[in-house]
């Protein structure tokens, strides 16, 4: 990355203040950097890396963290009188045993109310890799030759003596017809119940180890924003800016396939009333010009823990109407974060932000919290059916994204977002960037 000091500024804030955190970030980037990060930066024992081959390591949690999770899930299972969990959702698989990405394809985990889990994996190109990553005396890994390991899972359930028990599984109503029919045929006396609330209860509050992964995720997002700002100049194609963002994420340790909604446009560009600037998901040949702004919904991640960090990049001095619109978004973020503390619900926060926006501009408000109480910042699948998201109270120890959104007559729906760790009082802002327009 080229040195940006002297060539960029934050509107209303000195460049040096924004750049200080990155001057301290030399511990990351190379394989050696990652080794230093895990050994020196996290010497409290929260993390470890498993060496798969020479100079190849994968970030994960120590055995004690997974044991803690199993115990928390089993406690929640006991309160619902569940004999075991039949886990198929990729997020829940990762949380329970650490399996991720392509490895989670067609995997099934069985966690009994007492004892250790069993992971059933298809025999494919990922099996040997996963077996090395997940090797643990506490986890049974069962190789299944069939592409569909459901039959082996059913056999394991019978071996455990649960063929007439109560089994929790995620979103029973979303199972494929073939899967549901096979379960009913092979386990006719089993009572299947939805266990989304079990995972929600256990994953909502982050452990100290999980919080550190969230911090690293936010750091990845900050670096990606800076990478875009370093290449955004008149005459540069949009694809190079988007490429700089994606390349920075991956090189910082984020996983391939991040959720990025990217947009660049000239300000102001005529739009139909009530419509936002559209995001693009493909690379374009459009060349940037002075007076353009770049807006991105940036979901960065690290080892499965995601965050939301977003600020607009403007080519040249932003005009007064753009700055005014940004300040409104910034004000919405401020009001939201001030109320993000125990005792308040998402509805409480949204109502106050709507009140602020209406009094300040007359604009229509949509929402402030990206989502309250979901297990991770990018997973929507584990909220229990029928639960009232807007009534969830803030709890200490949550990691929550705030992405203020409203309808404009012309322009982007939202311009800023940030990620916070809730506490017993005011939340902790995880991003070290000042909330300002990035001017290049």
Q: Is residue 165 domain-shared with residue 293, that is, in the same domain? A: no
Which of 163, 187, 203 is the last residue in one of the domains?
203
The pLDDT assigned to 409 comes to: 53
In a domain, 37, yes or no: no
Q: Is residue 230 domain-shared with residue 172, that is, in the same domain? A: no
- Domain harbouring 247, CATH code: 3.90.230.10
How much is the CA Rg of the chain, to the nearest whole Å? 23
The pLDDT assigned to 70 comes to: 95
The pLDDT assigned to 280 comes to: 64
In a domain, 388, yes or no: yes
> Could you tell me which residues are beta bridge partners of residue 367?
405
- Domain harbouring 198, CATH code: 3.40.350.10
Specify whether the CB–CB gap between 230 and 29 falls below 8 A.
no
Q: Is residue 215 domain-shared with residue 285, that is, in the same domain? A: yes
Q: Is residue 331 domain-shared with residue 359, that is, in the same domain? A: yes
The C-alpha atoms of residue 440 and residue 233 are separated, in whole angstroms, by 7
Q: What is the pLDDT of residues 134-183, one digit of tens each?
A: 767 788 888 876 666 788 899 999 999 999 999 998 776 667 788 888 89
In a domain, 304, yes or no: yes
The pLDDT assigned to 9 comes to: 40
Q: Is residue 125 domain-shared with residue 109, that is, in the same domain? A: yes
In a domain, 187, yes or no: yes
In a domain, 2, yes or no: no
In a domain, 41, yes or no: no
Burial class for 366, CB neighbours closer than 10 Å (0-12, 13-18, 19+): middle
The pLDDT assigned to 368 comes to: 61
Q: Is residue 198 domain-shared with residue 261, that is, in the same domain? A: no
Report which of 430, 398, 391 is spatially closest to residue 308, judged by C-alpha positions.
430
Residues in the chain with pLDDT values less than 50: 1-45, 47-56, 272-274, 371-391
Structure-token pair, residue 291: 């007076």
The pLDDT assigned to 187 comes to: 94
Structural domain boundaries enclosing 396: 9-31+206-439
* DSSP code for 116: -
Q: Is residue 70 domain-shared with residue 134, that is, in the same domain? A: yes
Taking the CA atoms of 177, 180, 185 and 189 in sequence, report the sign of the dihedral they define: negative
The C-alpha atoms of residue 103 and residue 117 are separated, in whole angstroms, by 17
In a domain, 56, yes or no: no
In a domain, 197, yes or no: yes
Tally the domains of the chain: 2
- The answer for residues whose C-beta is within 8 angstroms of residue 151's C-beta and 6 or more apart is 144, 182, 186
Report which of 234, 197, 242, 172 is spatially closest to residue 440, judged by C-alpha positions.
234
The C-alpha atoms of residue 60 and residue 48 are separated, in whole angstroms, by 6
Q: Is residue 25 domain-shared with residue 75, that is, in the same domain? A: no
The pLDDT assigned to 276 comes to: 56
Q: Is residue 275 domain-shared with residue 322, that is, in the same domain? A: yes
Tokens 């929260």 sit on residue:
46
Report which of 225, 231, 412 is spatially closest to residue 315, judged by C-alpha positions.
231
Q: Is residue 158 domain-shared with residue 288, that is, in the same domain? A: no
Q: 0.85 cut: is pTM over it?
A: no
Which of 161, 181, 203 is the last residue in one of the domains?
203
The C-alpha atoms of residue 361 and residue 331 are separated, in whole angstroms, by 11
Structure-token pair, residue 27: 């511990």
Q: Is residue 350 domain-shared with residue 272, that is, in the same domain? A: yes
């Amino acid at each position: 990355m080229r040195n940006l000091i002297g060539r960029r500024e934050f509107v209303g804030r000195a460049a040096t203040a924004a750049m200080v955190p990155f001057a301290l970030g030399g511990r990351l980037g190379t394989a050696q950097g990652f080794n230093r990060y895990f050994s020196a930066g996290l010497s409290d024992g929260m993390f470890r890396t498993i060496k798969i081959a020479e100079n190849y390591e994968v970030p994960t949690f120590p055995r004690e963290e997974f044991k803690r999770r199993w115990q928390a899930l089993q406690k929640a299972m006991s309160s619902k009188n569940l004999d075991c969990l039949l886990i198929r959702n990729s997020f829940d698989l990762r949380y329970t045993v650490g399996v991720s990405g392509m490895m989670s394809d067609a995997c099934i985990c069985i966690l009994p109310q007492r004892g250790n889990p069993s992971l059933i994996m298809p025999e494919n190109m990922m099996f040997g890799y996963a077996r090395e990553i997940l090797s643990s005396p506490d986890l049974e890994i069962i190789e299944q030759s069939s592409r569909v390991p459901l039959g082996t899972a059913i056999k394991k359930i019978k071996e455990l003596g649960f063929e007439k028990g109560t089994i929790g599984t995620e979103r029973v109503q979303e199972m494929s017809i073939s899967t549901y029919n096979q379960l009913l045929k092979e386990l006719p006396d089993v009572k299947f119940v939805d266990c989304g609330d079990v995972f929600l209860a256990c994953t909502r509050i982050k452990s100290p180890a999980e919080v550190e992964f969230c911090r690293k995720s936010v750091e990845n997002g900050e670096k990606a924003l800076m990478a875009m700002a370093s290449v955004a100049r008149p005459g540069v194609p949009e694809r190079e800016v988007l490429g700089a963002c994606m390349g920075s994420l991956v090189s910082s340790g984020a996983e391939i396939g991040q959720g990025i909604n990217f947009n660049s446009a000239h300000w102001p560009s005529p739009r139909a009333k009530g419509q936002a600037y559209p995001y693009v998901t493909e690379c374009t040949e459009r060349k940037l010009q002075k007076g353009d702004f770049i807006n991105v919904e940036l979901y960065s991640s690290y080892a499965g823990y995601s965050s939301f960090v977003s600020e607009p990049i403007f080519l040249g001095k932003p005009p007064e109407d753009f700055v005014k619109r940004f300040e409104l978004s910034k004000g919405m973020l401020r009001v939201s974060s001030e109320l993000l503390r125990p005792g308040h619900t998402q509805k409480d926060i949204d109502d106050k932000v709507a009140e602020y926006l209406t009094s300040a501009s007359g604009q229509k408000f949509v929402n402030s919290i990206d989502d309250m109480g979901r297990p991770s910042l990018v997973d929507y699948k584990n909220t229990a059916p029928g639960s009232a998201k807007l009534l969830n109270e803030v709890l200490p120890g949550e990691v929550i994204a705030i992405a203020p959104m409203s309808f404009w007559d012309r322009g982007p729906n939202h311009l800023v977002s940030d990620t916070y760790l809730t506490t017993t009082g005011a939340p902790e802002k995880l991003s070290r960037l000042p909330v300002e327009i990035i001017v290049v």
